[in-house]
């Protein structure tokens, strides 16, 4: 049997056991034909990952990835602040970790691997699944604790430091992740090409549905504040932390999770736009005040110079007149 055919059999067994033992994170189940699975954390740009390779590399892995799209400074800052707590984290987690800052890349990662493990050895599946479950539970428990400290240091308030990342990655993001793994030597060129072709095929076969366009007669305020019709009203969690908790506990379905998150994202974008506009208006006002003050000072300075010059000229004229009067005598 081909290696890729084994993952759709392996990952459901892992997910079933992990969900029985932990509610800390929810692993996506739509990409079971690949050698890794990802789960969103409660923090922006950060995901947990489990992986099992084939005979070419032979390792199983648990990891935390810091990869906020387009925000390299944020990714490296979060990693560096975690790395300062390296000793405390490794003491609590119970084993040494690989700290991968990846200076030449946008992302960063912290990894723990078990070697001499392959997806092709079905007799070891139970042992491999036990390893992934046990160590991922330690990862989520310890890193969530220290990530809260890091987010507070970065200036995130209690109500907005939690940010549930999209579970599904775009094809571009997945190919970028594959390229990073290829550069690190975690996969071969053959595996990279095969996975890349699978991603392109799945991308062309899926037809995204366009969201319904708002009625042109609606005013802007109504468009912003109208909630999706299918959202529950009284029990809707209105922050990312509560949303993630309800999803982990199975209190809301995946469809409800997606709809509520879309609403929260739209509200967050609206608040950010308002804050950005307010900041710009304040900056413009400040600049105008500075310009006016500078102009006033320039005028005052010019008047002072003119007065000083006129006084000097008048003094010279008086002296000249005095000398002429003396010469008459």
Query: What is the full DSSP assignment across 39-106?
Result: EE-SSTTEEEEEEE--TTT-EEEEEEEE--TT-HHHHHHHHHHHHTTHHHHHHHHTS--EEE--TTSS
CA pair distance 183, 173, nearest whole angstrom: 15
CB 197 within 8 A of CB 34: no
Dihedral angle sign, alpha carbons of residues 275, 78, 147, 19: positive
Crossing angle for the helix pair 72-83 and 125-153, nearest 10 degrees? 100
Q: Tokens 């590399």 correspond to what residue?
A: 57
pLDDT tens-digit readout, 184-206: 665 667 767 776 666 655 554 44
What does pTM read for this prediction?
0.52
- Per the DSSP assignment, residues forming a β-bridge with 114 are 60
pLDDT tens-digit readout, 132-153: 999 999 999 999 999 999 988 8
Give kind and range of the element (H or E) at residue 245.
Answer: helix 240-248
Residue 220: its pLDDT value, please?
35
Give kind and range of the element (H or E) at residue 108.
Answer: strand 108-115
DSSP state of 228: P
pLDDT tens-digit readout, 36-46: 888 888 888 89
- Reported confidence tier of residue 264, pLDDT bands at 50, 70, 90: confident
């Amino acid at each position: 049997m081909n290696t890729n055919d084994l993952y759709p059999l392996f990952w459901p067994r892992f997910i079933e056991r992990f969900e029985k033992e932990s509610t800390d994170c929810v692993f996506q189940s739509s990409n079971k034909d690949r050698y890794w699975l990802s789960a969103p954390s409660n923090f922006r740009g950060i995901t947990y990952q489990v992986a099992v390779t084939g005979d070419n590399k032979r390792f199983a892995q648990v990891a935390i990835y810091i990869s906020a799209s387009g925000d390299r400074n944020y990714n490296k800052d979060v990693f560096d602040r975690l790395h300062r707590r390296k000793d405390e984290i490794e003491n609590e987690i119970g084993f040494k970790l690989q700290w991968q800052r990846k200076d030449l890349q946008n992302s960063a990662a912290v990894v723990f691997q078990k070697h001499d493990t392959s997806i092709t050895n079905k007799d070891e599946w139970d042992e491999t699944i036990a390893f992934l479950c046990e160590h991922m539970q330690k990862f989520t428990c310890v890193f969530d604790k220290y990530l809260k400290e890091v987010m507070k240091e970065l200036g995130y308030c209690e109500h907005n430091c939690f940010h549930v990342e999209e579970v599904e990655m775009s094809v571009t993001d997945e190919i970028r992740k594959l390229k990073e793994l290829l550069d690190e030597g975690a996969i071969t060129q053959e595996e990279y090409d095969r996975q890349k072709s699978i991603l392109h095929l799945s991308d062309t076969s899926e037809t995204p549905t366009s969201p319904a366009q708002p009625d042109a007669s609606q005013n802007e305020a109504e468009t912003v504040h109208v909630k999706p019709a299918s959202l529950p009203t009284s029990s809707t969690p209105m922050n990312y932390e509560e949303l993630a908790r309800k999803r982990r506990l199975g209190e809301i379905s995946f469809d409800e999770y997606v709809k509520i998150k879309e609403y929260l994202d739209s509200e967050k974008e609206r608040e950010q736009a308002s804050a950005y506009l307010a900041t710009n208006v304040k900056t413009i006002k400040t600049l105008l005040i500075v310009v006016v003050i500078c102009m006033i000072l320039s005028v005052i300075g010019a008047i002072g110079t003119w007065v000083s010059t006129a006084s000097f000229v008048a003094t010279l004229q008086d002296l000249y007149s005095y000398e002429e009067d003396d010469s008459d005598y």
